[in-house]
């Protein structure tokens, strides 16, 4: 039980949650039996962060930025207010900054100290985001780490690593994929994965199924 996903291979898989879930369930049972927690309250919290806040919120922000230049400019100047205007607000999202990918600069987000993450727009952080190898290596060798995620950037693209803090959380605005001119905001949002808003992936092209994670054409 000491091994729950800090190997590099786990970056590409999210199928190593079961042992953790079992431990969480066991802990919840013990705490409930001792009268220390109310499982209904836990369910509300879990539902909130799994269903109400989550990466679809961030994807809506990105798709709006792609289609409305005024909104993109607002994100640049005051991301907190621009995001709150869509009713995405709350804990760990009080102070937001949006960083825009360009052909010249690719942005990637980490919290080197712990696991600071913009909950209202991305939900709960993936396990790898909290892992010590990601937190240390993405700063020291970002290009190698992104390559392990399957993201090969052109050599001329600079990589900028942003270190989240309790005071400031970052949302990466990936580049709008080519071939998406006629798409609606809703269709565009489906191209925006969680990882593309952390910076460990790009937005999917229109021919790739959003659910596949871009593994194949």
Q: Which residues are tagged catalytic?
A: 111, 114-116
Task: Count other Cβ atoms within 10 Å, centred on residue 74.
Answer: 18
114 forms part of the interface with Fe ion (CB under 5 A): yes
**Per CB under 5 A, which region of 56-64, 113-121, 174-182, 189-197 contacts Fe ion?**
113-121
Shortest spacing between CB 146 and Fe ion, in angstroms: 20
Whichever of 133 and 150 has its CB closer to Fe ion, that residue is: 133
Q: Is 109 in the site for Fe ion (CB under 5 A)?
A: no
Question: For residues 75 and 125, what is the distance between their CA atoms, to the nearest angstrom?
Answer: 22
122 scored as a contact of Fe ion (CB under 5 A) = no
Specify the residue for token string 């390559």: 147
Query: In terms of CB distance, is 49 or 71 closer to Fe ion?
Result: 49
Q: Which of 97/143 has CB closer to Fe ion?
A: 97
**CA–CA gap between residue 54 and residue 56 (Å, rounded):** 6
Binding of Fe ion by 116 (CB under 5 A): yes
- Phi/psi for 215 (5° steps) reads -75, -30
Q: How many residues bind Fe ion (CB under 5 A)?
A: 5
Select from 63-71, 89-97, 104-112, 209-217 the region that touches Fe ion (CB under 5 A).
104-112
Judged by CB under 5 A, the chain residues 137 through 196 that form the site for Fe ion are none
Q: Which is nearer to Fe ion, 85 or 115 (CB)?
A: 115
User: By C-beta, is 30 or 114 nearer to Fe ion?
Assistant: 114
C-beta contacts of 100-103 below 8 A and 24+ residues apart = 100/65, 100/72, 100/75, 100/76, 100/173, 101/172, 101/173, 101/174, 101/175, 101/199, 101/202, 102/175, 103/154, 103/157, 103/175
Of 160, 147, 125, 156, residue with least CA distance to 201: 147
- Helix 18-33 with 39-47: angle, nearest 10 deg: 150
Rule CB under 5 A: say whether 82 interacts with Fe ion.
no
Question: Counting contacts by CB under 5 A, is residue 91 touching Fe ion?
Answer: no
| Residue 111 is a binding residue for Fe ion (CB under 5 A) | yes
Segment 38 to 67, residues that bind Fe ion, using CB under 5 A:
none
Calpha distance 149→200 (Å, rounded): 6
Contacts with Fe ion by CB under 5 A lie at 111, 113-116
């Amino acid at each position: 039980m000491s091994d729950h996903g800090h190997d590099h291979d786990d970056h590409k898989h999210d199928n190593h949650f079961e042992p953790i879930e079992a431990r969480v369930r066991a802990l919840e049972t013990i705490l409930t039996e001792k009268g220390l927690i109310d499982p209904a309250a836990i369910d509300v919290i879990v539902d909130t962060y799994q269903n109400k806040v989550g990466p679809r919120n961030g994807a809506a922000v990105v798709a709006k930025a792609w289609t409305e230049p005024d909104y993109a400019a607002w994100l640049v100047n005051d991301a907190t207010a621009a995001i709150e205007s869509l009713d995405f607000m709350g804990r760990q999202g009080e102070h937001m900054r949006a960083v825009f990918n360009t052909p010249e600069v690719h942005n990637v987000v980490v919290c080197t100290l712990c696991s600071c993450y913009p909950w209202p727009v991305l939900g709960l952080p993936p396990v790898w985001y909290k892992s010590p190898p990601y937190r240390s290596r993405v700063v020291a060798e970002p290009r190698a780490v992104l390559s392990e995620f399957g993201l090969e950037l052109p050599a001329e693209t600079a990589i900028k690593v942003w270190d989240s803090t309790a005071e400031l959380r970052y949302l990466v605005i990936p580049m709008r994929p080519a071939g998406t001119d006629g798409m609606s905001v809703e269709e565009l949002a489906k191209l925006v994965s969680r990882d593309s808003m952390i910076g460990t992936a790009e937005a999917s092209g229109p021919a790739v199924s959003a659910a596949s994670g871009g593994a194949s054409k």
